[in-house]
């Protein structure tokens, strides 16, 4: 029987999935994590479905070689397009970032109008709309692609004037739909949460997929008796190509000045 103290693998197209890692480190301090940011193929939001599937499968094969006990797809685009393919090729549990949001929304039986923002591919897939409406046919779901958000965040401009202008342009239609809840359907978007809050009515709640995923994983590991009894290894952060801002942003997101980046070459 394999040990529950094995690490958990996490991957995203870039920096955004670190928002998930941060929440996981807080809630599950005894777990070890291997994080991969696929900076060589950033952003996933405007790539073809096949490219995203190929990149995701290559990353998962590497994580399997590192003997992880579970994989988290900390990317809404990959969750939308590659989840089923990944589940067919790995023999360990795989958790996406859409299912946890679905679980949290379904707990609020009074909720009627929800807005989803995400990358172009996530919105085009209708992944959120399908799972939410199928579970509650009284729920009205409105979607908006925000293709500029990820590049702005990767450049560290999430609080800049240009970010505020983009937020106003993208979110006006959702605001006019009188949504009660706004789902940040990309793990990059929590890094822009403060700016988003400043540009929407205070009556609109914001649901952070990073927080939802951490809550769901804690529940999953507990109910499936997969919790680690003690932290064995230091967390590892891996990128697939050198980038200008990744390390400096990672230090801020994780509140850790000592971050050592590894480089992993993968092909799509």
Per-residue pLDDT tens for 5-55? 999 999 999 999 999 999 999 999 999 999 999 999 988 888 999 999 999
Residue 242, exposed/middle/buried by CB under 10 A (0-12, 13-18, 19+)?
Answer: exposed
Under a CB-based contact definition with an 8 Å cutoff, are residues 186 and 117 in contact? yes
Which of 55, 60, 75, 146 is labelled catalytic?
Answer: 75
Average pLDDT, integer, range 69-94? 95
Which one is the CATH code of 8-96+212-263: 3.40.190.80, 3.40.50.1860, 3.40.50.360, 3.40.50.150?
Answer: 3.40.50.1860
DSSP letter, residue 141: E
State the virtual CA torsion across 50, 51, 57, 61 in degrees, nearest 10.
150
Task: From the candidates 55, 60, 146, 186, give the one annotated as an active-site residue.
Answer: 186
> How far apart are the C-alpha atoms of 217 and 223, rounded to whole Å?
10
- Say yes or no to pLDDT of 245 above 90: no
Dump pLDDT digits (tens) for 181-220. 999 999 889 999 999 999 999 999 999 888 899 999 999 9
Residue 268, pLDDT > 70, answer: no
Q: Report domain extents, the chain.
A: 8-96+212-263, 98-209
d(CA 170, CA 181): 16
CATH topology of domain 98-209: Rossmann fold (3.40.50)
Catalytic (active site) residue 186: yes
Tell me how far apart the alpha carbons of residues 8 and 82 are, in angstroms, rounded to a whole number.
Answer: 19
Within the chain, where are the H helices?
18-27, 49-65, 76-89, 98-106, 120-125, 127-135, 149-154, 161-176, 193-197, 209-223, 246-254
In contact, 186 and 204? CB cutoff 8 Å? no
Instruction: Say whether 98-209 and 8-96+212-263 share the same fold.
Output: yes
Q: How far is CA 148 from the centre of its chain?
A: 17
């Amino acid at each position: 029987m394999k040990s529950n103290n094995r690490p958990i693998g996490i991957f995203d197209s870039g920096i955004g999935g670190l928002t998930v890692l941060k929440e996981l480190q807080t809630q599950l301090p005894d777990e070890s994590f291997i994080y991969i940011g696929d900076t060589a193929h950033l952003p996933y939001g405007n790539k073809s479905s096949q490219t995203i599937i190929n990149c995701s499968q290559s990353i998962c094969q590497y994580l399997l070689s590192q003997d992880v006990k579970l994989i988290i797809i900390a990317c809404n685009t990959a969750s939308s397009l590659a989840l089923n393919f990944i589940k067919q090729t790995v023999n360990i549990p795989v958790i996406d970032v859409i299912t946890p949001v679905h679980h949290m929304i379904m707990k609020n039986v009074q909720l009627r109008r929800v807005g989803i923002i995400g990358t172009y591919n996530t919105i085009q897939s209708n992944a959120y709309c399908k799972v939410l409406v199928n579970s509650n046919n009284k729920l009205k779901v409105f979607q908006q692609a925000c293709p500029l958000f990820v590049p702005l965040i990767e450049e560290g401009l999430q609080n800049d004037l240009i970010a505020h202008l983009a937020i106003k342009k993208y979110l006006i239609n959702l605001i006019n739909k009188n949504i009660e809840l706004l789902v940040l359907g990309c793990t990059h978007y929590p890094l822009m949460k403060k700016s988003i809050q400043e540009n929407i009515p205070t009556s609109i709640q914001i649901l952070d997929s990073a927080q939802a995923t951490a809550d769901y994983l804690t529940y999953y590991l507990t109910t499936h008796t997969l919790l680690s009894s003690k932290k064995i290894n230091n967390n590892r952060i891996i990128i697939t190509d050198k980038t200008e801002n990744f390390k400096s942003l990672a230090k801020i997101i994780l509140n850790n000045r000592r971050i050592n980046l590894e480089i992993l070459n993968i092909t799509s």
